[in-house]
Structure 1
Amino acid sequence: MTLTPQQLATTASEEGSATALANPNIALVKYWGKRDEALILPWTGSLSLTLDAAPTTTTVRLTDTPDDVVLLGGRPLEGTARSRVTRFIDLVRALADRDERVSVDSHNEIPTGAGLASSASGFAALALAASTAFGLDLDRRALSRLARRGSGSASRSIFDGIAVWHAGHDDESSFAEAVPAPGLELGMVLTVLDARAKSVSSRDGMRRTVDTSPYYPAWVERTPVELEEMLAAITRADFTAVGTIAERNAMRMHATMLGAEPPVRYWGPASVELLDLVANLRGDGLECYATMDAGPNVKILCRADAVDELAARILEAQPHIGVIPARAGRGARLITSEPGGSAGEQTTEGAR
């Protein structure tokens, strides 16, 4: 069922509405592989930096329409992408013990499905907006657990700055939480080499790697060690150690994919050029470290006060690519909320 934005406005009920904003996060210790597909429980814990750039803004309204309506960028979602959202809304309906249909209107400021964490920001914003529209009052741990059911990495975008996602062993124990990082001011430059949706989704790439790569068990064994090393480096505000661990962990993740049958290769020639550029810049005295997720686009970690210089140096070497400068940002928060039909601005973060 397709409705125009004007029709959506007229079908909104008086039950509730909420708009939430969430930023992408980039993992410094990666999440790759699920041991429970239904609950999205990871094999290992992970750690990330929530950014202050390229957010997702999502409005959820309870409606009196016969079916859910889901828009992304003003266009109706269809097929698997739509089903993923409506299944998530079903979880919220079950938590609230309610059955109203909804309209979901979401806008990404970052390319969707290109390995730039659009699912993290998207499901974090959806979790907060939907739970609020249905009258739920979730604390941040519960909100993180809910967001995880849409996209594992979304569990971390609930929080400001650095967050660790505990792998856990069931729904209750698998959640993210903030990691204090006094004295460690991080920045990042995201490079956009290819904004198109990747041909192998993250979910399919993970599944293939877990099922077929002989290197994956070593990843599961080693990643918890690197996570503890990363937490120790953050505690002592050791940027060099943080960057070294992050770059190493990313390369090891991609090594597990290359060992899959058939191999999962998200890199392209431009990705390798950027990886070489990062090594050269570091050799020239601009301390920075590369990380990559399930896509060709390279993210480059640096100190917060070096972001502008790093972005300029990248564009000087590669003038035809896109760059997104970023620093540590806020977690998911409400922009507006209309519980019970009352409208108004909300200045709080929107979750306890």
Structure 2
Amino acid sequence: MNQTLRCAASPSLALVKYWGKADGGINLPATTSIAVTISHLETVSQVTLGSDRANEPAADEVFIEGEPQPESRFAPFFAAVREALREDLHFRVESVNTFPTGAGLASSSSGFAALATGCTAVAGRRLSGAELSALARVGSGSAARAVFGGFTRFAAGASFAEQIADENHWPELRIVIAVVQRGSKPISSRDAMIRSRDTSPYYADWVSGAQSLAEQAETALVNRDLDTLGRAMRQSYLRMFSTMFTAEPPVIFWLPESVAVIRACEQLRADGISAWETMDAGPQVKVLTTAKHTAQVCDRLHRENPSGELLVVGVGSGPRLLGTGAATASTSA
């Protein structure tokens, strides 16, 4: 009988962005990113182990929300799993997300973190944090961070991410996610990144200035200084989007509702409330604030975009094994 288990992992939200790939390996970052693993949102993956023996799957299969996925998207990852385990194993994976897929909420980070954890566990192997991070990176650069809970650093040119602080470091931190559109993005993050790198006249400046922002953000994070962290975050996402806006053709993920949320955060700060926004490759806006101010932030954002959805999350832990059984969205915390 084939072995099966389930694994859940949460997305990694970059506070200072990973945008661009370095030469010399798969998904090596051109810029250092600083990130937080967020709570409550999860990818839940059921992983079934097979081999090339009779009556067992001879190829890897991946289904997300019941839909079969292109083999080419996952082939490098599964090849890396077999190399790491030194066994000719194959896997069937069925994944569901408790949040919109492919909509700018870092589903690839939680997805490949769950896959890396689940595939190695179902094979009876336990990797170090660095080894698991390097394996997840092959599937998605941001997944290298999502194998850790709390706060992480993924240094430029590195093959794995590192944990800066665990999920208990900043218990009062909250992230309010303004979901302004639930549908999939018109272009994938990977393709948008490549287009920005290859065609934007500002890409080189983005790379050269990223390290300073990462250092500022890490110091602020360690000191739990939200306003200093927020200013570094704001510069990072705006500089990143400058490479997209000036790509050829331009990549424009922002929607009018996205801009309305950004303006609302400006007004909140003018009123003395720490509310610092960031965005990734998609229209959603993530706002960092504190537990004390969460209700006020949600109230203001709802007034600016009454038809939008608000998700309130905190700092999350790393991937967890759930035992056996079908992957269902109801397992989310």
Give the 3-state SS of the residue equivalent to 1:116 in structure 2. coil
Q: CA–CA distance in 2 between the matches of 1:236 and 1:274?
A: 27
| 2:151 matched residue in structure 1 | 162
Report if aligned partners of 2:226, 2:274 keep a CA contact under 8 Å in 1. Answer: no
Report if aligned partners of 2:7, 2:323 keep a CA contact under 8 Å in 1. Answer: yes
Listed as ranges, the matches of 1:1-352 within 5 Å are 13=2, 16-36=3-23, 38-63=25-50, 64-77=56-69, 79=70, 82-168=71-157, 173-180=158-165, 182=169, 185-336=172-323
* CA 1:123–1:133: 2 relative to 1, 3 Å: same
| AA of the residue aligned to 2:112 | F
Q: CA–CA distance in 2 between the matches of 1:103 and 1:179?
A: 33
Give the 3-state SS of the residue equivalent to 1:149 in structure 2. helix
| AA of the residue aligned to 1:226 | L
Report if aligned partners of 2:217, 2:229 keep a CA contact under 8 Å in 1. Answer: yes
Q: CA–CA distance in 2 between the matches of 1:71 and 1:183?
A: 35
Per-residue CA deviation, residues 204-257 of structure 1 (Å, 9 max, x unaligned), is 111111111111111111100111111121232211101111112111110111
* CA 1:229–1:116: 2 relative to 1, 3 Å: same
1:38 shift after superposition: 4.9
1:337 shift after superposition: 6.7
Per-residue CA deviation, residues 11-58 of structure 1 (Å, 9 max, x unaligned), is x52xx3332111112111000011238511111110111111210011
Q: CA–CA distance in 2 between the matches of 1:75 and 1:237?
A: 41
Q: CA–CA distance in 2 between the matches of 1:132 and 1:36?
A: 31
**CA RMSD across the alignment:** 1.9
1:194 shift after superposition: 1.1
| AA of the residue aligned to 2:136 | A
1:166 shift after superposition: 1.7
Matched residues, percent identical?
Answer: 39
1:158 shift after superposition: 1.2
Query: TM-score, length-normalised on structure 2?
Result: 0.90
Report if aligned partners of 1:167, 1:175 keep a CA contact under 8 Å in 2. Answer: no
Q: CA–CA distance in 2 between the matches of 1:178 and 1:252?
A: 25
* CA 1:214–1:331: 2 relative to 1, 3 Å: same
* CA 1:205–1:242: 2 relative to 1, 3 Å: same
1:167 shift after superposition: 2.1
Q: CA–CA distance in 2 between the matches of 1:195 and 1:272?
A: 17
| AA of the residue aligned to 1:91 | A
1:68 shift after superposition: 2.5
* CA 1:37–1:108: 2 relative to 1, 3 Å: farther
Q: CA–CA distance in 2 between the matches of 1:299 and 1:25?
A: 12
* CA 1:304–1:139: 2 relative to 1, 3 Å: farther
Give the 3-state SS of the residue equivalent to 2:58 in structure 1. coil
Q: CA–CA distance in 1 between the matches of 2:129 and 2:121?
A: 13
Report if aligned partners of 1:212, 1:261 keep a CA contact under 8 Å in 2. Answer: yes
Q: CA–CA distance in 2 between the matches of 1:308 and 1:52?
A: 18
Question: 5+ unaligned residues in a row in structure 1: which ranges?
Answer: 1-11, 339-352
1:316 shift after superposition: 3.1
Question: 5+ unaligned residues in a row in structure 2: which ranges?
Answer: 51-55, 326-333
Q: CA–CA distance in 1 between the matches of 2:141 and 2:197?
A: 16
Q: CA–CA distance in 2 between the matches of 1:249 and 1:65?
A: 44
* CA 1:139–1:34: 2 relative to 1, 3 Å: same
1:183 shift after superposition: 5.7
Q: CA–CA distance in 2 between the matches of 1:183 and 1:131?
A: 30
- Total equivalences in the alignment: 318
Give the 3-state SS of the residue equivalent to 1:36 in structure 2. coil
| AA of the residue aligned to 1:156 | R
Report if aligned partners of 2:200, 2:244 keep a CA contact under 8 Å in 1. Answer: yes
